[in-house]
Chain A
């Protein structure tokens, strides 16, 4: 197994794919966003519950590749309990990291830097960013669906 593959599929990615956190539906969600990646068939439903300016609960369901599932899982873990504005700032920071605009910043992004491996694989950036686009939609607009195409 090459080092590049180990860098893409870091242990934290494999772990969150094997046992995704916050997986399932949320009956009292205040926003539900459907996201699809038509290229590979990844489908994600993001359930977000906000109370004022806070994300009080967040869960996701659907099917996807390891990168997509791990990214969704890591995201829910990170933004649960966050202020909405902080969660949106996090979207920007992760997006910039995934697209190579900024270098991974472990102090700020902690475990999320594990997603940086996709930068070497342009076709996989969408897998990592799907959940984040869904989060942005949930927190910033009235639209209820996301497509990465």
Chain B
């Protein structure tokens, strides 16, 4: 490593790796030791970490500006409202929605999907209607639809996946029909890393007059999302997967659909007038934001978007693909390794088994080496069933990970193999 201060020409020569190495320093939580070893955080698909800028924005709000939003005439209330609505505008820009009225703050992706399932599904679905999902969905994009199917007499129809973990598009086309009222598909699979061809799915579904919801929880930190270019009807994502806090998420919905949907929850903020005979509802997006929202969470999300806006997503994709490629290659050299999810289009998620060691044992052993990975069914039991495994280990990479993290993961796995040999 060259200890000399870098010059402009150095930066150009060493390229993108150096840029991402600099980003790592923005995340204070990564500068710690776990079990006496520098932390290697590879559980980003479960929850990513926050840069200092996000933490600072939230602390600033708590120390200077906090009051309830849309409620008061006093100064702090106005500042708080401005910051909260400013965050909404940042989200609008981030996904390129036509209007900030189409951006609804939720607790997360799960609540966003539940909102659409209960409100749109409850109003539209009838006996015999079908909701098309895929075998690779997260439980949060399965169970809300099952709940509304039970209430309405509609049916949940899962589309199978191929042995490499890609969506079976022929099967999708076969199952898509005039009975299909709603198509709900993950943009990126949390358990497999598969990037689904959502633009094609949306086009096919619209040809059948079906409404499309995209679960973007795993896509938002990795891919540039343009909801207008995609022409999706709904797009849901979570703050905590994209370097913002937990407890804040977003539902994007087309205004014409949201306007036609009944409220999801009742309470303050979502009304215009309340009388015991009849209440009238607020305009978008407030109609779907009952009660005092997660104000500081939204502000943190806005700051995370500011942060992501400084990142070149093309370079990010190359950086993460490189890490995934290196990790994949190294992992396959280990005896007993098998990768679950080898679709041609993948985000930086490496789900695997290392026979004969159970994923849970792997998780504990590599944690002892300072390496954090996820183990279990990843809230995607149908995926586990499809691949015939009870659980997998999963390493998921974010912008701050580097080659050394890959090496530490592989070293941890080798020590597990040694222990179980």
- Measured CB to CB, the residues of A under 8 A from B are 1-2, 4-6, 8-9, 14, 18, 39-43, 63-68, 121, 123-124, 127
Interface residue? B68 (CB, 8 A): no
A14 to B359, CA, bound (A): 15
Chain A to chain B contacts (Cβ below 8 Å), 13 pairs: A1-B415, A4-B368, A5-B364, A5-B368, A9-B365, A9-B419, A40-B377, A40-B391, A41-B377, A63-B358, A65-B359, A65-B361, A66-B357
Assess whether B360 is interfacial by the CB under 8 Å rule: yes
> What is the bound-complex CA distance between A39 and B356, given in angstroms?
20
* Residue pair B368, A43 in contact (C-beta under 8 Å): no
Q: A5-B415, A18-B356, A41-B391 are in contact. List 12 more A-B contacts (CB 8 A).
A: A1-B415, A14-B419, A41-B376, A41-B390, A63-B358, A63-B390, A64-B390, A65-B360, A66-B357, A121-B364, A123-B364, A127-B360
Residue from B361, B376, B418, B420 within 8 A of A67 (CB atoms) = B361
In the complex, the answer to whether B361 meets A43 with C-beta atoms within 8 Å is no
- B134 at interface (Cβ–Cβ under 8 A)? no
CB closest residue in chain A, given B37: A2
Chain B residues numbered 167-203 whose CB sits less than 8 Å from any CB in chain A: none
B residues 370-421 with Cβ under 8 Å of A? 375-377, 381, 384, 390-391, 415, 418-420
Nearest 5 A-B pairs (CB), nearest first? A65-B360, A65-B358, A41-B390, A41-B391, A63-B390
Q: Which residue of A lies closest to B362 (CB)?
A: A65
Does B70 count as interface, using CB distance less than 8 angstroms?
A: no
Check if A1 sits within 8 Å of B419, measured CB to CB. yes
Q: Which residue of A lies closest to B375 (CB)?
A: A40
A137 to B247, CA, bound (A): 38
Which residue of A is nearest B365, CB measured?
Answer: A5
A124/B364 in contact, CB under 8 A: yes
Query: Which chain B residues lie closer than 8 Å to A41 at the CB level?
Result: 376-377, 381, 384, 390-391
* A5 neighbours in B (Cβ, 8 Å): 364-365, 368, 415, 419
Distance of B360 from chain A, by nearest CB (Å): 4
Minimal Cβ-Cβ distance residue in A for B369: A2
In the complex formed, the residue of A with least CB distance to B391 is A41
Which residues of A lie under 8 Å from residue B356 when comparing CB positions? 18
Measured between alpha carbons, how far is A30 from B139 in the docked complex, in Å? Answer: 36
Q: Which B-chain residue is minimally distant from A63 (CB atoms)? A: B390
The interface residues of chain B lying within 8 Å CB-to-CB of A4 are: 35, 368
Q: Chain A residues near B415: list those with CB within 8 A.
A: 1, 5
Find out whether the CB atom of B360 lies under 8 angstroms from the CB atom of A40.
yes
| Complex contacts, B35 vs chain A, CB 8 Å | 2, 4
Q: What is the bound-complex CA distance between A6 and B360, given in angstroms?
A: 16
Give the shortest distance, in Å, between B390 (CB) and chain A (any CB). 4
What is the bound-complex CA distance between A9 and B390, given in angstroms?
A: 21
Chain A hits for B391, CB < 8 A: 40-41
Using A43-B390, A124-B364 as known contacts, say yes or no to A1 and B418 having CB atoms under 8 A apart: yes
Contact A66 B368 (CB under 8 A): no
Residue contact B361 to A66, C-beta cutoff 8 Å: yes
Bound: A66/B415 CA distance, A: 16
CA separation between A123 and B376, bound complex, in Å?
Answer: 12
Kindly provide the distance from the CB of A10 to the nearest chain B CB, expressed in whole angstroms: 11
Distance to closest chain B CB from A95 (angstroms): 20
List, in ascending order, chain B residues with CB within 8 A of A68's CB: 360
The answer, among B358, B368, B377, B384, for a CB contact under 8 Å with A64, is B358
**Inter-chain contacts of A67 with B (CB < 8 A):** 360-361
By the criterion CB–CB under 8 Å, are A14 and B420 in contact? yes
Q: Are A2 and B368 in contact (CB under 8 A)?
A: yes
Q: Which residues of A contact B358 (CB under 8 A)?
A: 63-66
A19 vs chain B, min Cβ distance (A): 12
Shortest Cβ gap from A69 to chain B (Å): 8
Partner of A9, one of B361, B375, B384: B361
Residues of A within 8 A of B381 (CB): 41
Bound together, the chains give a CA A64 to CA B391 distance in angstroms of 9
- Closest residue of chain B to A62 (Cβ to Cβ) is B390
Shortest Cβ distance from B408 into chain A, in angstroms? Answer: 14
